[in-house]
Amino acid sequence: MDVSTQRRMAADILDCGIDRVWIDPEQLDRVKMAITKDDIRQLIKEGVIVKKQKKGISSARAKKLKEQKKKGRRRGPGSRKGAKGARTPQKRKWINTIRPLRRMLRELRDSGMIDRSTYRMLYRKAKGGAFRSRSHLRLYLEEHGLLKAKE
């Protein structure tokens, strides 16, 4: 049974595409008899003609990916683009190293565990890149016996 005209009118009324118009297969003869837009409106009101829901794109996969990335996954060599220095610039790396070192040196000097001349010497060494981390600096201090007892 051809109800393409009715389907077109219904699409026009429902403000959607022709493919989104659903017509009850049991009521096809009634739909065939509907020749005016008012008839179609009546059938829509009765639920014989219905507007189908739009097909959406599920964001479930995207959400799952985001969760994994939040946990720190998917950061292996296969996912990396750009050089090592592009992902974390060398300057940022240096800043992340030098600030804790200088903070530690300041704390040691202020608490009296190292004197001013030792502080200066160590500050310059740190600036020259002699220490990789705070633990490396601590190891140096212990090996060279530069720490005094707290005052």
At 102, the amino acid letter reads R
pLDDT number for residue 150:
66
Query: What CATH number belongs to 86-143?
Result: 1.10.1200.60
Task: Return averaged pLDDT per consecutive 10 residues of the chain, 151 residues in all.
Answer: 93 96 95 95 96 95 97 94 91 97 97 96 98 97 88 55
pLDDT value of residue 77:
93
In whole angstroms, what separates CA 21 from the centre of its chain? 38
- Long-range pairs for 85-94: beta carbons < 8 A, 24 or more residues apart: none
Q: Which residues pair with 49 in a beta bridge?
A: 23
- Cα–chain-centroid distance for residue 12? 41
| pLDDT value at residue 81 | 92
**CATH code matching the domain that covers 4-51, chosen among 1.10.3720.10, 1.10.1650.10, 1.20.59.10, 3.40.309.10:** 1.10.1650.10
**Model confidence pTM above 0.85:** no
What is the structure's pLDDT at 149? 76
Evaluate whether 59 touches 31 at the Cβ level (below 8 Å).
Answer: no
CA distance 98 to 64: 37
Report domain extents, the chain: 4-51, 86-143
Distance CA 16, CA 9 (A): 10
